[in-house]
C-alpha cells in the first residue's frame, strides 16, 4: 500500500522539522509527504527542502483557509491509496507505518485513528497535559484507551482513510471546528470500517502554557456541541460529565452553607477523585501535582465550552 502523509502547517516551521525527521526514520517507507502551507508568515519551505533527499515531498503554499480545508487541498494533491493526517506538532515513532500497514490488512480497515502520547523528553507540563487529555479519570477513555476500537472517533492529529472513502464521503466540511470528528462520524454512517489502532500512536507536543491549554479545552467543548448541527447523536453522556463537574464545583460552597451534609459528601467525591488522579499520574511528584491542576483546568474548560456553545445555539 502507498500512503500519502498530509500535513497542514501554519507558522510552525521548527515543529515541522521534528516531524519530518521522525518520518525519515520510518522502517516502512512506502509513502509520500504532502505539506500544505496554509498562509504562514513564517514558512517551512526551506525546511521541507532539507528533507527532499530523504523523503518524497510535495510542498504547496496557499492563502490561509484553515486546517480542515488545507487537509482537503492535500488530498487533491496526493497520489497515494491511503491518506494519513498528522498535525505539525507531532513526532512519529519509527515503526508507525509498518504497524499501520499490517493492521489495515489484518483487520480490513477503511479508516483509522490513533492515540497520542508524551515522549520521555517532554517537559513535566507537557506530560501532565497529556495525562489530562488521555486518562480514563478525565476523559472516560474516549481519546484512545477504549476497549472497543470500533467506537473510536478519529482526531486530525493522527487519523487516516483510504482514497475510496474520500471519493465517496468527501473531505472536511469546516476549516477548524470539529471537522475531524464530524468526518469520522460521516465515514462510519457511510458504512466504512473505522477503528482505533492503539499501537499506531504519535508523540504530541501540546500547548506550552496553562492558559493556552484551558482555551484549547474550552474550544473542544464548543466543538462537541457544534457537531450536533450535522449529527444530532454526536453528544453523548460522557461529553456532559465535564459540565456536571463544573456545576458541582460552583454549587459546592453554597451546598456547604445550606446543607452541610450534602456539601461534605460532594467535597469528599472531589477529594477522592483528586487523590486517585494524583496517584494515577504520579510518575514523579511534579507531574502528579501538575496533572491535578491541568485536569481541573481541562474539565472546567471543556464544561464551560459545552455550555457556551449550547446557549449560543439557542439564541442564534
Domain of 289, in residue numbers: 232-315
> How far apart are the C-alpha atoms of 178 and 173, rounded to whole Å?
9
Please report, for residues 22, 51, 144, the alpha-carbon distance to residue 185 in angstroms, rounded to integers and kept in the order given: 30, 35, 16
Q: Are 201 and 238 in the same domain?
A: no
Q: Are 237 and 156 in the same domain?
A: no
Please give the model's pTM, rounded to 2 decimal places. Answer: 0.92
Is 31 part of any domain?
A: yes
User: CA 280, 136, 312 angle in degrees (round to 5)?
Assistant: 125
User: What is the model's pLDDT at position 119?
Assistant: 85
Q: Are 198 and 238 in the same domain?
A: no
Q: Are 202 and 237 in the same domain?
A: no
Calculate the dihedral angle through the C-alpha atoms of 79, 30, 60, 73, rounding to the nearest 10 degrees. Answer: 50
pLDDT in 10s for each residue of the chain, 316 residues:
899 999 999 999 999 999 999 999 999 999 999 999 999 999 999 999 999 999 999 999 999 999 999 999 999 999 999 999 999 999 999 999 999 999 999 999 999 999 999 888 888 999 999 999 988 899 876 665 667 899 999 999 999 999 999 999 999 999 999 999 999 999 999 999 999 999 999 999 877 789 999 999 999 999 999 999 999 999 999 899 999 999 999 999 999 999 999 999 999 999 999 999 999 988 788 999 999 999 999 999 999 999 999 999 888 7
Query: What residue ranges in the chain does DSSP mark as E strands?
Result: 3-9, 31-38, 57-62, 82-86, 90-91, 111-113, 116-117, 158-162, 194-196, 202-204
Q: Are 191 and 236 in the same domain?
A: no
Q: Are 163 and 67 in the same domain?
A: yes
Q: Are 201 and 164 in the same domain?
A: yes
Q: Are 59 and 104 in the same domain?
A: yes
Q: Are 62 and 190 in the same domain?
A: yes
Domain count, the chain: 2
Is 119 part of any domain?
A: no
Is 294 part of any domain?
A: yes
Is 227 part of any domain?
A: no
User: What is the model's pLDDT at position 20?
Assistant: 98
Is 248 part of any domain?
A: yes
Q: What is the CATH number of the domain that holds 64?
A: 3.90.550.10
Q: Provide the edge-to-edge strand list for the sheet that holds 158-162.
A: 57-62, 31-38, 3-9, 82-86, 158-162, 111-113, 194-196
User: CA 29, 89, 301 angle in degrees (round to 5)?
Assistant: 140
Q: Are 295 and 160 in the same domain?
A: no
Q: Are 45 and 186 in the same domain?
A: yes
Is 225 part of any domain?
A: no
Is 109 part of any domain?
A: yes
Is 87 part of any domain?
A: yes
Closest Cα to residue 38, out of 74, 64, 14, 11? 64
> How far apart are the C-alpha atoms of 201 and 95, rounded to whole Å?
10
Q: Are 169 and 88 in the same domain?
A: yes
User: What is the model's pLDDT at position 145?
Assistant: 60
Amino acid at each position: 500500500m502507498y500512503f500519502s502523509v498530509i500535513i497542514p502547517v501554519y507558522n510552525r516551521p521548527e515543529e515541522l522539522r521534528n516531524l519530518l525527521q521522525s518520518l525519515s526514520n520510518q522502517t516502512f517507507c512506502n509513502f509520500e509527504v504532502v505539506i500544505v502551507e496554509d498562509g504562514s508568515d513564517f514558512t517551512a519551505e526551506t525546511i521541507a527542502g532539507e528533507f527532499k533527499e530523504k523523503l518524497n515531498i510535495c510542498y504547496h503554499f496557499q492563502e490561509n483557509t484553515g486546517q480542515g480545508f488545507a487537509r482537503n487541498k492535500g488530498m487533491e494533491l496526493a497520489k497515494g491509496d491511503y491518506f494519513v493526517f498528522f498535525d505539525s506538532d507531532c513526532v512519529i515513532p519509527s515503526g508507525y507505518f509498518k504497524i499501520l500497514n499490517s493492521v489495515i490488512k489484518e483487520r480490513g480497515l477503511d479508516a483509522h485513528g490513533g492515540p497520542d502520547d508524551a515522549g520521555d523528553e517532554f517537559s513535566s507540563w507537557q506530560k501532565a497535559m497529556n495525562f489530562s487529555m488521555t486518562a480514563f479519570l478525565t476523559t472516560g477513555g474516549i481519546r484512545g484507551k477504549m476497549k472497543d476500537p470500533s467506537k473510536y472517533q478519529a482526531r486530525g492529529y493522527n487519523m487516516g482513510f483510504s482514497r475510496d472513502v474520500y471519493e465517496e464521503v468527501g473531505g472536511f466540511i469546516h476549516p477548524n471546528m470539529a471537522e475531524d470528528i464530524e468526518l469520522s462520524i460521516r465515514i462510519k454512517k457511510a458504512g466504512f470500517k473505522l477503528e482505533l489502532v492503539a499501537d499506531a500512536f504519535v508523540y504530541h507536543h501540546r500547548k506550552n502554557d496553562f492558559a493556552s491549554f484551558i482555551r484549547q479545552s474550552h474550544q473542544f467543548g464548543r466543538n462537541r456541541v457544534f457537531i450536533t448541527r450535522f449529527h444530532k447523536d454526536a453528544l453523548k453522556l460522557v461529553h456532559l460529565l465535564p459540565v456536571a463537574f463544573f456545576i458541582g464545583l460552583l454549587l459546592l460552597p453554597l451546598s456547604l452553607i445550606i446543607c452541610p451534609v450534602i456539601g461534605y459528601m460532594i467535597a469528599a467525591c472531589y477529594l477522592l477523585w483528586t487523590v486517585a488522579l494524583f496517584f494515577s499520574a504520579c510518575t514523579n511528584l511534579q507531574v502528579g501535582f501538575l496533572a491535578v491542576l491541568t485536569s481541573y483546568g481541562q474539565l472546567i474548560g471543556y464544561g464551560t465550552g459545552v455550555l457556551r456553545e449550547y446557549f449560543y445555539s439557542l439564541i442564534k
